[in-house]
Amino acid sequence: MALLEVLVPSIPERWRTCYDLVSQINTMADPAIRVRTMVTPPEKEGGPSTGAKRNQMIEESEADYVWFVDDDDELIIDGVKEVIKGCRTGVDVIGIDGYMTTNGQNRHNFEIRIGHPFEATVKNGMVMYLRYPNHITPIKRELIKDIKFPEVSWQEDKAWADKVKEAGVLKTEYVVNQDVYHYRFSTKDKSYMT
């Protein structure tokens, strides 16, 4: 059984980016981390919603920690190694740093921490998104296994993060103070709106 399972819900139109992400994680060859995908047709074509897929993946996972990574995003391997160290401490959640780009440009950094609000601020002259733990943070599975994502495919992640915060189940945190996650937003790819 892996310590940390990276869960990647996907759709056939995104097989290439999903494959690249899985390959990137598998190059680590670390038995502490495992990646699992669930590729189904989009909801508009009769497949399950993204929320339903996320719920099923949490339910089926046997890892101590689960970490959702969007199928078109990228992990920074040095940061992932630090995430694994954090998981080994037994904390509830791993606080991560990362950045977002839109169509490969306009980098905006983010920090995800237990005590953060959900807002944008300016830090060192740059926009910084502050977020509380959400689907892209490694979280101890036992604490969130009964907190369900809404069964929709758009904004299910924010609604779930709000439920986790309201439940108050996350108390301890290991913070990785380096980039771990690259959130690659594209205004050209509308497949996420399924």
| pLDDT over 50 (residue 105) | yes
Which of 148, 149, 137, 140 has the alpha carbon at shortest distance from 169? 140
Q: Which ranges constitute the DSSP H helices of the chain?
A: 15-26, 50-60, 77-87, 141-144, 156-167
Query: pLDDT averaged over the chain?
Result: 93
- More confident call, 96 vs 72: 96
| 3-class secondary-structure state, position 121 | strand
- CATH number assigned to the domain with residue range 4-185, chosen from the 4 options 3.40.50.300, 3.90.550.10, 3.30.360.10, 3.20.20.140: 3.90.550.10
pLDDT tens-digit series, residues 19-44: 998 998 888 889 999 999 999 999 99
pLDDT tens-digit series, residues 121-132: 998 888 899 999
For 6, left (φ over 0), alpha (ψ -120 to 50), or beta?
beta
Pairing of strands 119-123, 126-131: antiparallel
For residues 90 and 120, what is the distance between their CA atoms, to the nearest angstrom? 30
pLDDT tens-digit series, residues 146-165: 999 999 888 899 999 999 99
pLDDT at 63: 97
Residue 96, token pair as written in the block: 């991560």
